[in-house]
Chains A and B, each alone.
Chain A
Amino acid sequence: MAQRTHEVRDPLHVFVRYDEDEKRVIESEPFQRLRYVHQLALSFLVYPGATHRRFEHSLGVTELAGRIYDVVTRDDGKMSSTARALTPKPGDREHAYWRATLRMAALCHDMGHLPFSHAAEERLLPNGWDHERITWQIVHHPLMGAVWSSMRPKPEPDDVGKLALGPRKVEKLKLGLSFEPWEAILAEIIVGDVFGADRIDYLLRDSLHTGVAYGRFDHHRLIDTLRILPRPPQERGESANEEDNEGELTLGCERGGLESAEALLLARYFMFAQVYYHPTRLIYDKHLVDFLTAWLPEGRFSTEIDGHLQHSDNDVMTAIIASAADADAPGHDPARRIVRREHFRVVYQRRPEDTGGATKGIARAAAKEFGEELVRYGASPRRGEPPDFPVRDRDGRSVSSLSSSDVLGKLPASRDEYVFVDEPERKKAKQWIEKEREGILEALTATEDEQEEVNP
């Protein structure tokens, strides 16, 4: 019997619809907690509108993942024979199982986030732990087990977890699981580098709430043109016949969607610099981590699920405000910097000619000169190279996106890196770095070579 459908208004997708089984997940404690975890951590101190939460983002990812699934599993008459053999047909039980499991995974994919999302993750969890590992634990926790057991068909927690994390994280967490080709495509629908619903939703949603228009792109057109495509030939002499390529399939798009895909990747590039790794946001993250290290018992978040569920941005923000007002409270200094906007200022930004490690080396040297407590280093992660995905050309061939697009191959991959110093030291530190930079970098290169040759 068909399940009752519920709907909720959403500023991005107008309506997000979900069924009774999905409602049980939404009403679970781990999902409700996401109402109190900001999507962009302390970015609301830079962009006042950025107060949206992981809750609505997770609903949005679920909506988009369902749409993408419906598009790519529909046989448009041009589906290749290997794609047709791999893809369950609409109406089949298998099709329904994977659609439901995919949407469950989309709902669950952010459940493991700490307060203020990524900001505090690296230093405040034990080695080998991150929010994805906590997500995996929550999906396998008795709390969610009770939710899964109430459903028919019951989703396998391993299937939900694999699709929510994707192969990159499964590799990193050493879970010892492999991905069947179909599972790999489903994981791409949620966490894929190019067409993942997670990325599509967060770029559009963050753009909407921050007011930074660079994050917009035509996601309706993009989703309509997504297809499961054979891998294009990688080198001259390799057959373009997919049977000869052993039927390897992946998510790609029709030629008509290439501009939308380019726009998505450009949006990501701009949003990285403008929003996600805005220097002021980066330094607020540092002050937040300093506060949490002083405030949390033993300076760490709990990896126990019960403990994890007790913390959200709300109790941490309350503690920050209290500590800022009390000079004797743990974490008073970083709390004061956050609440009174007395954050450190940028004194050096990575230059194009700097090699990896140069900015960090300058930060270390500045810390020696001005004091460890007055200097911080902050950086975006490596952006990674623009991904190569298949494009179904107008003649039906599957071709490399990098060979079809003049834009994708030119997207810069460099990371943004900064040295920050306490405001009263800013002018002096800037002058000192300008004067000492060459010498610091020369000494750094010599040390790196020496270390490398002694301990390869």
Chain B
Amino acid sequence: MSRLGQEAILAGLARRLDEQGSWSGETHIQKSTYLMHELLGVPFDFDFILYKHGPFSFELRDELGSMQADRLLERQPQPPPYGPRFLVTARGRELEQRLTQTMSRYGPALDWIARRIGKRGVVELERLATALWVTRQQPDAGVSARVQGLTDIKPHVSGEDAMSAIEEIDRLLVEADEVAAAA
């Protein structure tokens, strides 16, 4: 995907997350992008690594910085102790409007991810994205093996929460196939 197209999709994502009432911080953008890439096959040009808070892309972090420099996104500091939020600017909206075909192609994926992810808390998002990471690493493993895999990576996650995250990922995989097929 071209850089311009990628930026338009990220601007569209930040806008939709905000419209859904999401906090829309970096964790939301990172995990939503990872889930869109893995679940819906949106061809982002980012590599993800398993890092402190689950799957994470330094390339995506750089891209968000670049989009701020180009005034497509703004990072809005929040009162202590909270982290900042990402908001799309008027210039970012213009970019979305300019790339009509791209945005109509990926619009359903963006709508779906914003609905499914927008209102989740960051701890829940990290669990969910890590559950997908484990599922991708062990595609043939059953639920209990993947629950074990998740708690091995994140020992602070309880077995119950890990089970819930793995089961939800299995449901989202089925749902995402339907979204991708309809697009």
Chain A residues in the interface with B (C-beta under 8 A): 167-168, 170-172, 174, 178-179, 181, 184, 231-238, 240, 243-250, 355-357, 382-385, 388, 393, 397-400, 402-404, 409, 412-415, 448-449, 451-453, 455-456
Q: Which residues of A contact B50 (CB under 8 A)?
A: 178-179
Can you list 11 A-B contacts with CB-CB less than 8 angstroms, sorted by A residue number? A172-B59, A236-B78, A240-B81, A382-B66, A393-B80, A399-B80, A402-B77, A402-B83, A413-B69, A456-B2, A456-B105
Q: Which residues of A contact B25 (CB under 8 A)?
A: 234-235
If over half of A's interface residues share one DSSP class (helix, strand or loop), that class is named, otherwise mixed; here it is loop
Is there an interface contact between B80 and A403, defined as CB atoms closer than 8 Å?
yes
Q: Which residues of A contact B154 (CB under 8 A)?
A: 246
Chain B residues in the interface with A (C-beta under 8 A): 1-5, 8, 23, 25-27, 47-53, 57-59, 61-62, 64-66, 68-70, 75, 77-84, 98-102, 105, 121-123, 126, 154, 156-157
- Please report the C-alpha to C-alpha distance between residue A231 and residue B50 in the assembled complex, in whole angstroms: 17
- Please report the C-alpha to C-alpha distance between residue A275 and residue B64 in the assembled complex, in whole angstroms: 25
In this complex, what residue of A is CB-closest to B124? Answer: A238
In this complex, what residue of B is CB-closest to A237? Answer: B121
Which 8 residue pairs are nearest across A and B when measured between Cβ atoms?
A399-B81, A235-B23, A384-B65, A246-B156, A171-B49, A385-B65, A413-B69, A168-B58
* B66 partner, pick from A174, A240, A356, beta carbons under 8 A: A356
Is there an interface contact between B58 and A382, defined as CB atoms closer than 8 Å?
no
Is there an interface contact between B51 and A179, defined as CB atoms closer than 8 Å?
yes
* A235 partner, pick from B3, B105, B122, beta carbons under 8 A: B122
- Please report the C-alpha to C-alpha distance between residue A94 and residue B164 in the assembled complex, in whole angstroms: 35
Is there an interface contact between A409 and B84, defined as CB atoms closer than 8 Å?
yes
User: Known contacts A168-B58, A452-B2; can you find 4 more A-B pairs with CB under 8 A?
Assistant: A167-B49, A167-B58, A248-B52, A412-B69
B21: min CB distance to chain A, Å: 11
Q: Which residues of B contact A236 (CB under 8 A)?
A: 23, 78, 82
- Please report the C-alpha to C-alpha distance between residue A143 and residue B78 in the assembled complex, in whole angstroms: 51
Q: Which residues of A contact B2 (CB under 8 A)?
A: 448, 451-452, 455-456
- Please report the C-alpha to C-alpha distance between residue A233 and residue B4 in the assembled complex, in whole angstroms: 32
In this complex, what residue of B is CB-closest to A236? Answer: B82
